[in-house]
Amino acid sequence: MKAAGRRLQSTLVVAEHDNKTVTPITLNAISASKKLGGDVTCLVVAELSKTSGVSKILVADSEALVGFMPEYLTPLILATQDQFKFTHIVAGASAQGKSLLPRVAAKLDVSPISDIIEIKAPDTFVRSIYAGNALLTLKSKDPIKVITVRGTSFEAVSLDGGNAASDEVAMPDVPADRYQRRSGDEEW
């Protein structure tokens, strides 16, 4: 890819964590995002500011984000996309990523690209089909690529060696009666 085109690339990685540490699949997603070229920005976790390959951390703090419900993360990702105009939005192909990113893709009116195992170019990806018995190379013409990454296909980046800047992003308004915290044996 030409250097001029690479400067225009930017990727938002949606970080998963357990409120203490980043999940390993997030580190694999960052590794995959680095292969796309351009800046890599992570959304949600301040801990990632030391992660190798991350240029910026966007931190959102809201009661609605407790539990990482896709219904509340989607508006945050859309608002972040609207503000920063990323060319790629990436998450690990975990239960959370597979639930969240198709919603984001639908709202952006683009096709989600799921469970990729290789990046050939910023618009060309490889994924397995037929229970892993065949590989499919696909080229996306969508202006924004919304991608889930198979964690075992990309080496995890190190949590050390980075010096990313950290900024706060505002959570879009979510009515408080639309969510509840759940702990132990509380009922909904």
CA contacts within 13 A on the Cβ side of 4: 0
pLDDT digits (tens, 9 = 90+) for 110-160: 999 999 999 999 999 999 999 999 999 999 999 999 999 999 999 998 877
Task: Return the structure tokens found at 66.
Answer: 């407790």
Please indicate whether residue 48 or residue 101 has the higher confidence score (pLDDT): 101
Q: What b-and-e string marks burial along 8-45, b requiring 16 or more CB atoms within 10 Å of the CB?
A: ebbbbbbbbeeeeebbebbbbbbbbbbebbbbbbbbbb
Residue 105: CB atoms within 10 A of its CB come to: 21
pLDDT digits (tens, 9 = 90+) for 19-30: 677 889 999 999
Percent of the chain with pLDDT over 90: 54
Where are the domains positioned within the chain?
8-154
CATH superfamily of the domain spanning 8-154: HUPs (3.40.50.620)
**pTM here?**
0.84
